[in-house]
Amino acid sequence: MGQHKRRYIEAQDAQRRATLLAEIQAHNVDVFCWCNRCGHNATISSSRLAAELGPTFPVPDIGSRMRCSGCGSKDVAARPDWPSLGQVTRHDSPVSK
């Protein structure tokens, strides 16, 4: 990879930051957690987590504070539970006449 491209990617990465609990709480979005060991998953209220961990707590770091209720593992990941766009019902392009 060229030096210019590497510096560009590093600059882009430096501008990124994790979503905070307060940000998703303002949009009424909860936190989706899943166990990387057994696949168990759950949705937890962002309001409850913000009250316990603080509104400036980063969402991806929540997983490090969790324990799977299915298998007891601490290998848990977390992300915002953004609403689905719904089921995709058509993959082909419309036929023009």
Q: What is the pLDDT of residues 29-74, one digit of tens each?
A: 999 999 999 999 999 999 999 999 999 999 999 999 999 999 999 9
CA distances from 89 to 82, 85, 92 (A): 20, 11, 10
Return the closest-CA partner of residue 41 out of 71, 86, 82: 71
Examine residue 90 and state whether it is found in any structural domain, yes or no.
Answer: no
Examine residue 61 and state whether it is found in any structural domain, yes or no.
Answer: yes
Q: What is the pLDDT of residues 86-95, one digit of tens each?
A: 776 666 665 5
Looking at the 3D structure of the chain, how many domains does it have?
Answer: 1
The pTM of the whole model exceeds 0.75? no
Examine residue 93 and state whether it is found in any structural domain, yes or no.
Answer: no
Domain range spanning residue 65?
Answer: 19-80
**In whole angstroms, what separates CA 55 from the centre of its chain?**
16
Residue 77 reports pLDDT greater than 90? yes
* CATH code of the domain containing 25: 2.20.28
